[in-house]
Amino acid sequence: MPKSILIVDDSALVRKQLSEMIASLGFDIELAKNGQEAVTKATQHQFDVITMDINMPVMDGIEAVKQIMQAQPTPILMVSSLTTEDATITMDALDLGAVDYIAKPGTMNIGKHANREEILAKVSSLSRISPRRLKRSMSRRTTREPHRAESSRTSQVSDTRTSRDLEKIILIGSSTGGPGLIEQICAALPANFKHTVCIVQHMPEQFTAAFAERLDRACVLPVFESKQNMELLPSTVYLARGGVHMGFTKKVSGKIVIREDKDKGTCFFQPSVKTMMESALELFDGKSLVGVILTGIGDDGADAMVKIKQAGAYTLGESEESATVYGMPKEAYDRGGVQEQLSFSNILKKIATLR
């Protein structure tokens, strides 16, 4: 029996473009032109995946996501324009249970091979997420740590530490299903956490800026979107900027800073987990590194996890039991790059209590 998809968008052109593309997957395709119509159809039939526009008449995509996830949990792929405003709204949709997002046709050329490949890969992967796994993922969202109060922020003014004081560097990679987990990790870091956290979450530039702000609000430690020549400091979290690779380099002065690379190279994703981890290994002793691979499509970071593990790094991979999409962590585990494969809740504890 073929899988089914509901394409929700108020633009007839977008519905047509997505339908023609997704037809190559052999899915049964149903259409809806607003959120209310989507809720009605999604509660009458269990679709394998839904693509959801944000701004629509009658009912917008955010309210539709909320109602669908309450009545009939379904893997939802948000269709978002690459604007800061839509990035913030899309993050809200992920909070409500949407799993991932794609660029709205018109924002990027939908006929472009790389974009088409990404859309098809995401639709295909989301369609394999079982209702049981989706409900478990939603349960993790509702039990996560609340946002911190502004007054709890550790004062950085009197902190004179520099990159020369770095001890451990925690390198985290995630993709589909990852933003909520990254936010939980940041919220769980204690005020006395002395290590540096570097994160690659696959998302475009406009999204990483909004996401970094969101993480900063949730975290006692400061969270920054990475920038060229930004110094790497202890007790600080860095989110790789979208559209460039994040690496590291040492200045003549001895200061260790972030090095950005606009050349995508052979990597499908930019930023890539692979580039971050391999760059860290060139600069730091393997024993000072901790590698973490969370939920996501594909194999980004799998070979790099092998390399840093062989160099003495402590490596963690999310288990199939908890991963929304068991792609990246599976590849890292199968290739021998994972020292411990754990559920996300246990990975969270390992990171937060790292000494």
Query: Is residue 141 predicted with pLDDT exceeding 80?
Result: no
Query: Is residue 61 predicted with pLDDT exceeding 50?
Result: yes
Q: How confident is the model at residue 131 (pLDDT cuts 50, 70, 90)?
A: confident
Q: Distance between CA atoms of 179 and 142, rounded to whole angstroms?
A: 14
Pick the catalytic residue from 163, 175, 226, 279: 175
Opening angle at CA 203, ends 48 and 283, nearest 5: 130
Structure tokens at 13: 């052109």
Encode pLDDT of 214-252 as tens digits.
999 999 999 999 999 999 999 999 999 999 999 999 999
Query: Is residue 71 predicted with pLDDT exceeding 90?
Result: yes
Structure tokens at 172: 């985290």
Mean pLDDT computed over 35-62:
96
**How far is the CA of 31 from the CAs of 8, 49, 102, 201, 202, in angstroms?**
6, 12, 17, 31, 28
Please choose, from the candidates 183, 198, 191, the residue with its C-alpha nearest in 3D space to the C-alpha of residue 238. Answer: 198
Query: Is residue 284 predicted with pLDDT exceeding 90?
Result: yes
Mean pLDDT computed over 196-205:
93
Pick the catalytic residue from 127, 174, 195, 202: 202
Q: Are strands 340-342 and 314-318 parallel, antiparallel or unpaired?
A: parallel
Q: pTM for the full model?
A: 0.89
**151 catalytic per annotation:** no
Share the mean pLDDT of the chain.
90
Pick the catalytic residue from 81, 195, 300, 322: 300
Helices 12-22/113-126 angle, 10° precision: 80
Mean pLDDT computed over 84-92:
86
Q: Distance between CA atoms of 283 and 260, rounded to whole angstroms?
A: 15
Q: How confident is the model at residue 158 (pLDDT cuts 50, 70, 90)?
A: very low
Q: Which one of 91-100, 113-122, 288-297 scores highest in mean pLDDT?
A: 288-297
**175 catalytic per annotation:** yes
**158 catalytic per annotation:** no
